[in-house]
Structure 1
Amino acid sequence: MLKKILLALAILLSAACVAESDVLEREVGDFDLKLGTAPTRSMAQGLVRPTTAGAFHGGLDLTHASGWYVGQWSPSVGLSEGSQLEVNSYLGLARQPFDASLGYELGLIRYSFPEVGGRDHNEYYAGLNLAGSRLGAALSNSLGRTDSTLLLDLGALKPIGVGLRMKYANHALDEPRYLADGGSVRVYNDWSLNLSRPWLGIQLDMSYTGSSLGGPQCGAYSGQNVRCDGLLMFRVERPLY
C-alpha cells in the first residue's frame, strides 16, 4: 500500500508540473527528460506503446544524446476499486547512423503487475525507418500465449497522396481453446489495413480488419482487432478550429 501511495504522489506531482500540457520536457546535461500524464513515447515505429491509462497514471522518459533511452509508465496505480497496480518499464536504442532518411530502433518493454502473480511479461521490439516508410516488429510472451506482430507504414503514396498502413499478427496459445462444437483453436492470425488521405481540410480514413477465425471459432479470439470477423469502417474528421 505504501508503494501505491508513493507512486500516486509522484504521478500527482508530475500532473501538477504539466497542468498546461500533457508533457513537461527538460534538458539535463546530455539527457532529455520528459514527465507526462500521457505516454511520451511509442516504440518500433509506432507498433508498441505503453498500455492505456486508467484513473491515476503518469510516467517519465529519459533519452541520451547517443540514442539510448529508458522510461517507466504506470497506466494504473491501483487505488480505485477493481484496479491493479501496473508498471511498464522499457529500455531501448534509437539511432539514425547515416542521415535523416534511415534509422533503426530496438528494445524491450516489461509489463509488471506487482499484486498479481504470473502476469508479468516482456515484449521485444525492433523498427526501421527508410525514406519515410516505417517497418516495425514485436514479440510478446505473456501468460498462456505468444504474440508476434508486424507493422508496415508506407506513408503517403505518390502521386495520389494516400497513406497506407498494414498490420499482421500471429497468436499462439500454449494450450488449445476448446469450442462448444467440439473443435479447438490454438494458433490464429489477424490483420488490418488502413488508407487515409487529407482532402479540403478533412481527414478521410478507411480501415479493414479481419482474422483467420470465423463462426464459432470467434469465441476463442483475443487479438489486435475489436472484432474477430471482417469489419470495414469509414471515418471523416475535420477540426473545428
Structure 2
Amino acid sequence: MNKRILATAVLAALPLLSTGSAFAEEAADNPVTANVSLVSDYAYRGISQTDEKMALQGGFDYAHSSGLYVGVWGSNVSWIRDGEDAARDAGATFKSSHNSLEVDVYGGYKGTVGDFGYDVGLLQYVYPGRYTQTWRTSVAKRPDTLEGYVGLSYKFLTFKYSHAFTNLFGAPDSENSKYLDLSAAYEIADGWTLNAHFGRQVIAGPAESYNDWKIGVTKAIAGVTLGLHYVDTDINHVDIAEPRVIFSVAKSF
C-alpha cells in the first residue's frame, strides 16, 4: 500500500474526541446536554481529518447521577476521500465509499474520589459509507474502529489510555494499537484556560508509531468558548501532520 494512503488511513479521526464527552461533566443539574462547535481544522491525535479545512461538529450526552453516561458526537471529515484520491493517483480502480462523516458513539462510567477522578468506557468510531471488497483491497481495511479507554485525573491533570480492539482506522493488522494521552487544563485568569497535551500513538503492525502535542488557550465569553491552539506531530513529510494553528468556537446547551 502506498505510504501516503496508509498514513491517511491510520492517522484518521477530538483531541476533539474529548470534546463530546467533556460536556457530559456539565450535566449535574441537567442529565441531557448538547454541544456544537466550528473549528478551522479538525485535528485528531495531531492529524487533520479535513485536509486542514473547516469542520462543523456537535453531539448529545446523557449523564446519570450514578456516574453512567452515553453520548454521540459527529463531524464532517475528508480523510477517507483523500485516501481514495491517492489510491486512484496510484492507478487503483474502485467505487467510492461516499464517506464524508464521522460518528462517535460512546458510553462509560465516571466518578471522583476527593481530587481524583476516573473514567472507564468504550468508544465506537463509525464512518458511514460503502466499503466494497475492491475498496478494501485498493485503499485500506474498513475504517470503523472500536476502542476502550481508562482515564485518571487529578485537579487540572488528566491521563487517558485508549486500546483498539479492532484494526485502527483501516490500518492492516493494527488490532491492539494504543494511545497514551497526558493533558492539562489550568485556569490562568477569569474565563481563560491554558491547555496543553502530549500524546503517543503506538500502532501495531507495519505502520509507524508517532507523537503529537498541542498548546493553547480557551476563553469563555458571552456563552461560547473560543479556542486557539498550536498542534504538531513528529511525523515527517505528511502535509496533514505538519504544525498549524487551529481556531475554534464552541457552545454547550
TM-score (structure 1 length as normaliser): 0.50
User: Which one has the bigger helix percentage?
Assistant: 2
Higher RCO structure (Cα 8 Å, ≥6 apart): 2
TM-score (structure 2 length as normaliser): 0.48
* Rg larger for: 1
User: Which one has the bigger strand percentage?
Assistant: 1
